[in-house]
Structure 1
């Protein structure tokens, strides 16, 4: 990313330059170990058309482990890695962009955001109130808004599913309306909402999945929403589920061989198709296919960031295909060459749990904690290790006490220990130690420290 002259963590200087030059600001919030971050850095940010656009905006990168980063995240309402935000020159937020779309689609959407007359918040208000007719580009930005990273910036306290359903009905641009409808359906699925005309919706989605152009345009949603919507719209074991899963699997198979997509997107499509095999869309020779595709992908990449993303997805494919030993061997063999080996240790712990070996899982959590780098990351990895101990070895008081003391020591030295993602980890620590039936002086002290710090963080956020 260096060739694009990114501001590294200095938000004040970046926004000052944006205002002085009267240019929009593009903010990328991420972490070194985050696979989607590694994907977008190594693919989208490396594109020539992205570099061409870079001359029209100020670029700001904030690493979640940089000093004061979580406090900046609280200021700009950043949490999920990655979060990608476009601001006007005066600092007004225009939109948040999805990281899962293809590189070409991302650059086109970024271009729309840089030229936008209205912010997404203004367009959303107009779409819901029907106070004016939205331009096509407004609908495009609304449909490609990163709703999963919103942090109540646009939605505020609106009912997510209801707001999206209302926009779907109002939308005058077919492809944008389809995206909004899928977002609305997924929000309803996650919220357990009833009253969906399942047969009509399945027919409409099926028609979209049968159209190659639509599947390509909706690539990110075809991959991301497949399993959830098949489960939501059909009954287990029903003929409808089998037929719907097979329709969706055919669309995913087309994406796997789409050479216009990045390798990581093709692999993601395969991983979801493997997961759909359990829902009624079996794959002939699934194990052999998984092995071959993962091996070919790894042979094709060497750049560290891209290889990190490919390894993560490849191991997921093998594990989802039931090849736990091979997934384990792949990740364990990559630890020595990875720039973030501690991330893969968490995956190795997950595989150990699937094998029914919690002791081995705890060992991997311990190694991940020992190897983790960066204050926010260490708190997150420490919280996960603590959760593993309480869940699988609650009797191991000595180990829990040792870890509790280590976390307290690091919290004492941390800048912004309760800000944003840090606050989430503190809440998890307090909750997990709150249900632990063991007794330990340092564990009790850590729980109280976590409660106190989290409370301070909430009060700052309320001001």
Structure 2
């Protein structure tokens, strides 16, 4: 797991047409909106809400921006801390119809299925007639995201049509190439291309874009290299190595490509230098220089600067065992990690930013082998978090990795008990169940009781067998099936199946979620 900087880890923002002055601005400090100013999100929890928003969009000839997120989600909170509170962003949303879907609202998971969204946050720009123009990237910083949003609004063509033309060798404008270069492939859910084919597609686009827009071509090649691990996509050559070295050496270019460099540093290095040695060490050294510059760049958010530090730890661990709990990192790097985490804890007072950054800082401390510091940071932040159960699950993960099984289960149980919202509770419950069956398989009574409680909660939620909630329940079912692989817990499973049969029978037989429900306790390859 890497730090999720996808305000991620998941698409991000929106705005309508921005002035050319704003589009040409360098990434400098922006005006914070007055405390009483905010985006006028329209809340949507059902198809009727969506249809109402699109009806308004058609009547007012405005695009629609759909934002799907959750209260606990760190990158969603990063959006709130760095983008949704911008004065320019708030003003520009008056020219669009902004729609918010809370992942825990009653119909959210069904809407997730409709729009093919899985991860929080996801943001999609639609034309007024409902065509998907593009999915917006959240890993880039706010000013860049606003520019990408402007590209989508200016062109108006669905990204699928643009991609089809690019693959067919048709001529695209510079803006259309930029739309492809900045498309959020990570949250595209394979709508444009199957995941396995993405590296080759990116390489094709990078080659085809030559001579149109240098920055976009560079971005596409960097994304190709990042996605080409394990021999997929493109083979390294001197030309690509030179391109990367040029980007790393240029402060302006590395700043423009900071998201790809931070998120893909280790993968790019592995693609260009498959074996450890002098060439790899040299490239890592060049990455170090660029990443340190990004860490010191005050125009970037704390999350982005921490992401650059995370990339440095990624590179330092590149030739170490992936599961090593106490990696032999340089004392200077470890000191930087600890100081960065302490600085974030000391300086961040905004609740949204804390939820985004502190969880990442705690992860980074553990990744650098500083488990005690990670635990202390998480525990000290519980009372300051509006979603402490997220931090509790991290504490459970820390304890599990270090072999402290009882402590891990206590944290996982508490995180589930304290979680809020139907989809969130199923997700946290599935994590607790997975830990129970792995760490305490002998405690059949506790496992059955927890599973029965989760199934009871699912029965009260009409969206339980859609999207993320369905995947959470499938995780529960998979854990139970694996737990009973030897048949020693047949009686427990039989009682749970009887309970589940009663729940499934109340789901409309014509609804696909009925099959999802009925398949939860089936072993792979077995029929009902």
TM (normalized to structure 1)? Answer: 0.92
- Quick one: which of 219, 229, 254 aligns to 1:179? 219
Partner SS for 1:335: helix
* Aligned counterpart, 1:54: 93
* Aligned counterpart, 2:313: 274
* Aligned counterpart, 2:525: none
Partner SS for 1:339: coil
Q: Post-superposition shift, 1:383?
A: 1.0
Counterpart CA distance in 1 for 2:302 and 2:289 is 18
Aligned in 2, Cα 1:444/1:163: closer, same or farther, shift over 3 Å? Answer: farther
Number of residue pairs matched by the alignment: 458
Aligned in 2, Cα 1:157/1:201: closer, same or farther, shift over 3 Å? Answer: closer
Q: Tell me if 1:257 matches 2:296.
A: yes
- Quick one: which of 191, 198, 202 aligns to 1:160? 198
Q: Post-superposition shift, 1:297?
A: 2.1
- C-alpha contact 2:122 2:135 (8 A) present in aligned 1: yes
* Aligned counterpart, 1:204: 243
Partner SS for 2:52: helix
Q: Post-superposition shift, 1:434?
A: 1.7
Q: Tell me if 1:151 matches 2:189.
A: yes
Alignment of 1:349-364 (within 5 A): 349-364=396-411
Counterpart CA distance in 2 for 1:445 and 1:193 is 46
Deviations 1:223-245 (A, max 9, x none): 11112232344345422222222
Counterpart CA distance in 1 for 2:468 and 2:237 is 37
Q: Tell me if 1:314 matches 2:364.
A: no
* Aligned counterpart, 1:139: 177
Counterpart CA distance in 2 for 1:97 and 1:283 is 37
* Aligned counterpart, 1:77: 116
Aligned in 2, Cα 1:415/1:442: closer, same or farther, shift over 3 Å? Answer: farther
- Quick one: which of 507, 512, 516 aligns to 1:456? 512
Partner SS for 1:94: strand
Alignment of 1:224-235 (within 5 A): 224-235=263-274
Counterpart CA distance in 2 for 1:314 and 1:127 is 40
- C-alpha contact 1:400 1:443 (8 A) present in aligned 2: no
Partner SS for 1:60: strand
What 5-or-longer segments of structure 2 have no aligned partner? 1-35, 320-327, 517-528
Partner SS for 1:15: helix
Counterpart CA distance in 2 for 1:400 and 1:368 is 16
Aligned in 2, Cα 1:197/1:271: closer, same or farther, shift over 3 Å? Answer: closer
Partner SS for 1:85: strand
Q: Which moved more, 1:106-115 or 1:92-101?
A: 106-115
* Aligned counterpart, 2:437: 390
Aligned in 2, Cα 1:347/1:232: closer, same or farther, shift over 3 Å? Answer: farther
Q: Post-superposition shift, 1:2?
A: 6.9
Q: Post-superposition shift, 1:459?
A: 6.7
Q: Which structure has greater helix proportion?
A: 1
Q: Tell me if 1:129 matches 2:168.
A: yes
* Aligned counterpart, 2:348: 301
**Structure ranking higher on relative contact order (CA contacts 8 Å, 6+ apart):** 2
TM (normalized to structure 2)? Answer: 0.81
Aligned in 2, Cα 1:169/1:444: closer, same or farther, shift over 3 Å? Answer: farther
Q: Post-superposition shift, 1:54?
A: 1.1
Aligned in 2, Cα 1:366/1:199: closer, same or farther, shift over 3 Å? Answer: farther
Cα RMSD after superposing both structures: 2.5
Counterpart CA distance in 2 for 1:71 and 1:7 is 18
* Aligned counterpart, 2:9: none
- Quick one: which of 462, 484, 507 aligns to 1:415? 462
- C-alpha contact 1:271 1:313 (8 A) present in aligned 2: no
